[in-house]
Amino acid sequence: MIKTCAICGKEFETANNRQIYCGPECSWEGRRAVGRSYYQRKKEGKEPEATKTCPICGKTFEVDRYRISRRYCSDECSLIGKRAQEKAYRERNKQAKKPPEPKTCPVCGTTFTPASNKGRKYCSPECYRKANRETKGGRQPYATGETKKKYRNEHTRLAVEGRARGLTYGQYVAMVEMGARYELHEKN
């Protein structure tokens, strides 16, 4: 299919029925022209909706109904205004923060003031470690003087005992099970 370019007027061959430009340069120029004409049509015959004064530089500028909420005359003034707003927000938040309240350590009973209001309970890392030793999983080997458990769990104990007899874990478990069944059978 032979068509004529809408921008430069050259004829070009295409298989696409919707193509109206001969190449990427004309396509780009066509998009720019369409955009320009849209904004020109939008501006023509329309009076500004309002006239505002920029709070940063003091210039007056016109806004149409599509940009009625615009506060600043340019991007530079907008950036300066946003930075000023952020600074004011940070200042308000600094003043709104409460100083940390004094707390009592549940381990040693001393009163301390934490550096911030976050959930700190203990006065020192030593008290924190001591509290964790006493509460985690019911283990209290340091507090009560008991020795640590020899094995982490029952599987580990069975594996170690089996290795001591020269058996694998599975062989040892089978032997223990068979022995338990044999003892139950003899009792009945």
pLDDT (tens digit per residue) in 86-123: 999 888 877 667 777 888 888 888 898 887 767 788 88
| Sequence-separated (6 or more) residues with CB below 8 Å from residue 32 | none
State the Cα–Cα distance between residues 68 and 141, nearest whole angstrom. Answer: 72
134-163: average pLDDT: 67
Residue 86 has a pLDDT of 92
Report strand pairing: 11-13 vs 50-53.
unpaired
- Report which DSSP code applies to 153: S
pLDDT (tens digit per residue) in 172-181: 888 888 876 6
pTM for the predicted model, two decimal places: 0.32
The number of beta carbons lying within 10 Å of the beta carbon of residue 112 is: 15
One-letter identity of residue 93: N
Mind listing the domains of the chain with CATH numbers? 1-45 (no CATH), 46-97 (3.30.50), 98-160 (no CATH)
The number of beta carbons lying within 10 Å of the beta carbon of residue 162 is: 19
